[in-house]
Structure 1
């Protein structure tokens, strides 16, 4: 390879690295706009940054609802696939990207739990898991985890958002696509169910 060709190749690599660095500094909202772009390379890079940036966070959300490692991974993967296939579903004027995507992951996790029969839900319950070690650090958390597995998925999701994620009630209601009163009802019924289980 000639010196000129080497210089050109090196310049191209530097340009690619610079673009990647610049994209890493983009907000989620800017990246989702690029995922809708016609240029395939730009679209893929923006998408891969979103996936790398948010996979662990959304895995933990999905896991807290499904209480299964594989199901949580499937939920996150299918949610990102939905984003890849339909990036224009996100409407910038209605919600931030993370809030909107939280809704997608949360609803997918709830739908997964609804499809399972009660016996399958108990069979699939995972108490020990290396990826969820940060969720279940001690015996009290394992007891709570077990109790959460016994309440309906929407109640569990509401409790997780408001009490574990410390979301404002309006934000949690928006994600679940319900009103504040309905959210308060879910929280009340969920807390009562947990109290009964933990007695």
Structure 2
């Protein structure tokens, strides 16, 4: 980060190469929209570039610092999207499906994935954030606590509750499908 603070574009490129894909995956899963996720990730790296001199390696690892920036930007993006939708500036998001002609087996997989995505989306914001930081960003509990600005015990509880909520959602969806 010191080299980035000194203006090294090569070091910034290395940072992007090392963390860009993980941040993109995290943001896309949190936001549910890859276009918004790209905007968030670009903003994360612009912020990292501008604030590299403020990074303190004694407080957090670089990855934890970046995910904290990403988490905050994702929350901001969801708020903006809510406000745009609330006042009618956005149409429904489109997620065009590209089905192959013989994709009957893939339909079941997509339905299961949809149930899991819906379950994650239904979680309270902090539980969803903790779960995605664990599963997508592969952060450990202390890093999740750091990113979320909470204690390790609270982060553990958020993960327990998120897993329970997701499990209950999937079980309820499975029961509805069987009763149909």
> TM class, shorter-chain normalised?
0.7 to 0.9
Q: 1:120/1:145 Cα in 2 relative to 1: closer, same or farther (>3 Å)? A: farther
Equivalence for 2:93: 124
Q: Structure 2 matches for 1:51-130, cutoff 5 A? A: 51-117=16-82, 120=85, 123-124=92-93, 126=95
Q: Which runs of 4+ in 1 moved over 6 A?
A: none
Cα gap change, 1:117 to 1:193, in 2 (>3 Å): farther
Cα distance in 2 between the residues matched to 1:155 and 1:67: 16
Q: What is the CA distance between 1:69 and its match in structure 2?
A: 0.8
Q: Could you tell me which of 2, 5, 10 is aligned with 1:45? A: 10
Equivalenced residues, count: 157
Q: After superposition, what is the alpha-carbon deviation per residue over 1:64-99, rounded to whole angstroms, capped at 9, x for unaligned?
A: 111111110011011111111111121011111112
Pairing 1:176–2:145 present: no
Distance 1:120 1:102 in 2: 26
Gaps of 5+ in 1: 1-31, 130-136
User: Which fold has the larger relative contact order, with Cα–Cα distance below 8 Å and residues 6 or more apart in sequence?
Assistant: 2
Specify every segment of 5 or more residues in structure 2 that has no aligned partner in the other structure, as ranges.
Answer: 99-107, 173-180
Q: Normalization by structure 2: what TM-score?
A: 0.72
> 3-state SS of the aligned residue for 1:116?
helix
